[in-house]
Amino acid sequence: MEYRLTEPFTKEAVRNLRAGDQVLVTGTIYTARDAAHKKIVEMMDRGEKPPFDIADSIIYYVGPTPAKPGNPIGSAGPTTSYRMDAYAPRLLDAGQLMMIGKGQRSAEVAEAARRNGAVYAAAIGGAAALMAQCVKSAEVIAFPELGAEAVRRLYVEDLPVTIVLDTEGGNLYEEGRSAYLQRT
């Protein structure tokens, strides 16, 4: 199925998404990779407010290239998601709604997503310039010293993703592999 997910992002909005569904995301999302995740979790451990409200947030695992003149962002393809696996359960428990990246996730992340009514979506790997066309604005909001890995607030329109882990425990990578093996 194909869906549109627009702000405000809520648990109710992702509850019916299933592994394999195609989704076009429109609204404010945030970027963060492993270095930023580490800093955010350390802030939370110290009782400090993270740089954005984690509840109902969407985090895109991307380290974009510098923007060319007239563009809000450079190439913006997903990075490998397992790098965030050590931190993702903590953010999911704090209310994060969706993770966007590429590649498989650990069993702990899958369980945290299911437990918290959150989803993991895969973005198109190898199509960073295409993904960047969906970004209408970008602003560094935290950790500028991290360069490409700084936390950014993005406004995206029709960012294409595919649900991999759903709120019911569905896993597209496992289901797809199983379906393939049954056909061979």
CATH number for position 174:
3.20.130.10
Query: Which residues partner with 26 through β-bridges?
Result: 6
Catalytic-labelled residue, pool 37, 102, 114, 152 = 37
Q: Work out how many domains the chain is built from and give that number.
A: 1
Rounded to whole angstroms, the Cα distance separating 161 from 148 reads: 22
Question: pLDDT tens digits, the chain, 184 residues: what are they?
Answer: 889 999 999 999 999 999 999 999 999 999 999 999 999 999 999 999 999 999 999 999 999 999 999 999 999 999 999 999 999 999 999 999 999 999 999 999 999 999 999 999 999 887 888 899 999 999 999 999 999 999 999 999 999 999 999 999 999 988 766 565 666 6
Rounded to whole angstroms, the Cα distance separating 4 from 168 reads: 19
Domain limits at 78?
A: 2-183
Cα–Cα distances in angstroms (integers) from residue 27 to residues 46, 110, 155, in the given order? 30, 24, 5
Cβ-based neighbour number of residue 16 at 10 Å = 12
Our answer to whether residue 50 is catalytic in this structure is no
